[in-house]
Structure 1
Amino acid sequence: MEMKMKRAGGVLAAVFAAAALPIVVASPASADQGDCQYSLHEAGYVIGPKVEAACKFGADYTNVGAWQGCYLGLANIGVRSEDAITACSMA
C-alpha cells in the first residue's frame, strides 16, 4: 500500500511538472516589442524612436521593472494611460 502511494505521488508530481513547464517557458515569449508598437499604431499613434525605446524596454523580460519603464516612457511622450497599459502589457 505504501509503495502505491509513493508511486502515485511521483506520477502526480511528474504530471504537474509537465503541465506547468510550457506555461513557465512560454510566458516571456508570449508577446514582444512589435506587439507593443502595433498596438499603439492601431490606436493612432506615430511610431518613432521614443515609442520604439519604451516598447523595447518593456519587452526585456529579464528586467523586473520592464512594464513600469515601458509605461512611464510612453506616458512621458503623451500616450494615453489606457493605450500605454495595453501596449506595455503586450511587450
Structure 2
Amino acid sequence: MKVEDVIRITRDKENAFNHNNFQLLTEKGKDVGNMPAEICNAVAPLYDGGKLVIESAELSFVEPISARSRHAKQAILFVEMHAKLKTSG
C-alpha cells in the first residue's frame, strides 16, 4: 500500500473484541486492519445514531515493517478520515 490509496471504513458490530469496531479495507476489499479502539468507541455512537457520515478516507503515512522493531509483525498504517457531523435544523 502507498500514501493516498483509498481506504474503505466499514462498521463491524460483530467484532469479538469491540462491538464499536470499524474495519479498514482496500478499494478491492482486502482487510488491512481496524481503527484503534479509542477512536471506534468515540465514533461508533455518532455513526450508529446517524449523526456522523464518513465521507472518505485515504492512507496518509505508512511505517513499513522494515522500519519497526524486529518483533513487529506488520506495518503501521495512518489513515486520514474525512467525516461530517450532521446538525439538526
TM-score, normalised on structure 2? 0.27
TM-score, normalised on structure 1? 0.27
- Whichever of the two has the greater Rg, that structure is 1
Choose between structure 1 and 2 for higher RCO, CA contacts under 8 A separated by at least 6 residues: 1
Bigger fraction of residues in helix: 1
Bigger fraction of residues in strand: 2
